[in-house]
Amino acid sequence: MLHQPQDYFDLTTTAFADLFTDVAYVWDAIPQIAPYIQHRLMTDRKPNITTYDLPPTVTYKSPNIYIGEGVTFEPHVYIEGPAIIEDGAFIGHGAFLRYNTIIGKNGGVGN
């Protein structure tokens, strides 16, 4: 069967494999993303954007944002939040991260 989560993600290495528990198709996880992020922000990914050393051209709307170690931010990034950005992620120039965003370890978005 096509379009199962394992067709798109390596569920043996991602920190978010539990998002896809009991999910038949990859899109079935979409309604679960918001509560999943909220749960993770209250447990093991505590919001830290207010104390993170952000470049001056990175702006954010919500304090409910977790940023891992070694994240690269290019200029003019906007993060709406809530969001989880894992270690080593790359956020490219002009990226606009909407609410309920997850960027996995060493993942990337933007230009």
Q: What is the largest CA-CA distance in the chain?
A: 46
DSSP H or E stretch at residue 40: helix 33-42
Q: What is the pLDDT of residues 73-110, one digit of tens each?
A: 999 999 999 999 999 999 999 999 999 999 999 999 99
Q: Buried (b) or exposed (e) across 39-48, using 16+ Cβ within 10 A? A: ebbeeebebe
Q: How high is the pLDDT of residue 111?
A: 77
- Give the CA angle between residues 20, 25, 27 to the nearest 5°: 80
Establish how many alpha carbons lie within 13 A of residue 67's alpha carbon, considering only the half-sphere containing its beta carbon: 21
Q: What is the pLDDT of residues 19-58, one digit of tens each?
A: 999 999 999 999 999 999 999 999 999 999 999 999 999 9
pTM above 0.75, yes or no: yes
Residue 60 is which amino acid? Y
Q: How high is the pLDDT of residue 23?
A: 92
Q: How high is the pLDDT of residue 102?
A: 96
Contact between 110 and 92 under an 8 Å Cβ cutoff? The reply is: yes
